Amino acid sequence: MPTALGIPVLIGIRNRLRAENLFDTETTKPTQSQAKAPVSVGGPSRTTDGTFNDLSNPAMGSVGSRFGRNVPPEYAYPEKPPKLFTPNPRTVSLELLTRTKFQPATSVNALVAAWLQFEVHDWFHHGVNEQDQPLEIDLTDDDPWHERPMRVQRTRRDKTWSGEGPETFVTADSHWWDSSQIYGSDPEFAKKVRAFEDGKVRMGPDGLRPADLDEGLDFRGVAGSFWLGLDLLHTVFMLEHNSICDALKKEYPTWSDEQLFVKARLINAALMAKIHTVEWTPAVIAHPTTIRAMHANWYGIAGKKVKRKVGRIGKGEVFSGIPGSPADHHGVPYSLTEEFVSVYRMHPLIPDDYTFRSIATDEVIEERTFNELTALHSRERLQSIGIEHAFYSLGIAHPGAIVLHNNPKFLQRFERPDGTVMDLAATDILRVRERGVPRYNQFRRLFHTNAPRTFEELTTNPVWAEEIRKVYDNEIEMVDLMVGLYSEPLPKGFAFSDTAFRVFILMASRRLKSDRFFTDDYRPEVYTQLGLDWIDDTTMISLLLRHYPQLEPALRGLDNAFVPWNRTART
C-alpha cells in the first residue's frame, strides 16, 4: 500500500492486537497500593530491580515477575513428550537450520546483530537454567554429538506456579526498557559499576569496561553469551553515560553524585530506546511504510520537526508519538511475553568468521572465528585490535540473513565459558515448545492472519518446501514457529518475517506506552530540558563520533549507523 494508506492499516492492526492479544499470567491481583516510591535526591528515577515504575502496582514488571502472554491461556500449555520432541529438535537443527553457506543480509551491517543481543540482554532473562532433570533428546547412531542422549537443561521453574493452568516462567531482569544490561539488576553489581564521583560509571585505563566487572559473573546465564560485539556497545554507552554526566554537571554545578547518576541513567536508557525505535528497526524493516511507522511511534505522524517546533499536538500518541503521552497498559498489567521472546530468536544474524581491518587503511589486522571473540577472549581481542578498528570492521561487514540453512555452525556446538556444550539451534526449537508458545500455523491464526494449508504456501522456495515436508512428516500443523518464521516470504525491505512483525508492532509500542519514564514522566521536570534535547539530538552516528572521531570517514554521508559503512582507502 502507499504509505498514506499503510499507516492507518498498521494503527488498526496494533489497536486490534492491543484489545485481543494481551494476557496477564499473574494470579494475585494487586489492590490499591499504599507503598510509596523510594525517595531519590535525584528526583523520580529507575530502580535497580524495576519496582515502582507503575506507582499503583509497584511490583509490575520487576525482577521476579512473570512473563505474560500474547495468546489465550488455553493455547499456552507447554508441550509434553512425545510432542515436545516431535520432530526431533536435533533433526530440525541439522536438516533445516545448519549453515551450509553464509547467506548475508546485504542491506545492513554486522552491528545489527550486536545491537539486537545488547538490547535482548536488557529485556529477556529467564534466569539460570535448572541443573537437574534435563530434557533428553534422542540421537541417531551417526550423529557426532559427544553424549547420548543430548541433554538440555530445563528453563528455571516458577516456584509460585500453583500447578493450575499453563505453567508460568519468571524474569531474572526487569521487563522495563531500563538499560539494565549496563547498570545491573542486583544491588551488588549496580554498586560495582559506579565510580561514585560526578555521577559517572567506572571505566578501565585502557578505555574499556573495567576488568573486575567480569569477576564473579555466573557464566551459566547471559554472561556466558558475551562477545566482542557486546563489549563494543557496553563500552560506548558507558562512555556516553559519562558524557551526559559532564554536560549535566556543567549545567547544574551544585548537583550531587546521586543526582547526576540517576538523571544520566534516565537519559541514556531513553537514548537507547530511541535509537532502537527510529534507527535499528527501520534499518532491518526498511519498507517506506514501516520506516514512517517507527518514526511515528517516537515522534508521531506529525514528525520530529513539528514536535520540536510547536510541542505536542494533544495528549494522544498518534500525532506526537508515545514519549510524553499518558501511560496506558490497555487493561492488562505490563510484562514482556513468551511470544515476544520467541520471535526474537534471530541467531542467523551472527556470522561465524570475522575479518578485522584498520579504519585508516582498510588493511587486515586479524581474522578470527566467533569462538575467539567470546566472553573469555573479548577483552584480549579488543586490546590487540583497537576499539575503533573493531567498530569499523563490524560496520563494513554484513550479518547473516534470518532464513533457513543459515544458523551459525559454531552455535550448533557452542562451548560456553562455564563448560556447557550445546546445540543452540536445537535448544531454540525446544525452548519455544517447552514454554508453551504455539507452533507456526496456530500462532498465525491467533495473531489474526492466514495460516498456510500446504508447504508450498509456507515458502516460495520449492526446495525448502520439500525439506520441511520431510522433516515434519507431511504435517503442516506441526511446523515449529522458528522454522515458519525463517521460511515465509519476506515483505519488501524486511530482514525478518511479517509474522514476527505482528508481535513487534504490539510489543515494541507497549514497552514504551506502559513505562511512566517514556510517558507521564517524559518531561523536563524529570529528565531536564538538557536531557530531552540530548536524546533528540543524538543519533547512533553522532554518538559513535563523539567517542571515536576516527570513524568519521567510514560514517561520512550516512544517515543510519546500521547500514553498511564506507570502506576507507586501501594502501
| Alpha-carbon torsion (423, 428, 430, 435), positive or negative | positive
d(CA 213, CA 193): 7
Nearest to 70 by CA among 374, 481, 371, 406: 481
Q: 458 near 498, Cβ under 8 Å?
A: no
Report long-range pairs for 307-315 (Cβ below 8 Å, ≥24 apart).
308/536
Segment (H or E) for 175: none
Cβ of 299: how many Cβ atoms within 10 Å? 23
Q: 357 near 412, Cβ under 8 Å?
A: no
Q: 446 near 71, Cβ under 8 Å?
A: yes
Q: 303 near 295, Cβ under 8 Å?
A: yes
Output phi, psi for 258, to 5 deg: -65, -45
Residue 352 buriedness (CB in 10 A; 0-12 / 13-18 / 19+): middle
- What are the residues whose beta carbons fall under 8 Å from the beta carbon of 189, sequence distance 6 or more? 213
**Adjacent-strand bridge partners of 571:** none
**Terminal Cα distance for the chain, rounded:** 47
E strands in 313-358 = 353-357
Which grid cell is 409?
A: 555452525
Residue 331 buriedness (CB in 10 A; 0-12 / 13-18 / 19+): exposed
d(CA 394, CA 189): 29
- What are the residues whose beta carbons fall under 8 Å from the beta carbon of 441, sequence distance 6 or more? 451, 452, 476, 477, 479, 484
- What are the residues whose beta carbons fall under 8 Å from the beta carbon of 309, sequence distance 6 or more? none
Cβ of 122: how many Cβ atoms within 10 Å? 24
Most distant CA pair in the chain: distance in Å? Answer: 71
- Which one-letter amino acid corresponds to residue 300? G
Location of C-alpha cell 516470504: 489
Q: 526 near 364, Cβ under 8 Å?
A: no
d(CA 539, CA 555): 12
DSSP 3-state of 482? helix
Which grid cell is 453?
A: 494449508
Nearest to 70 by CA among 509, 564, 551, 522: 509
Catalytic residue numbers read 121
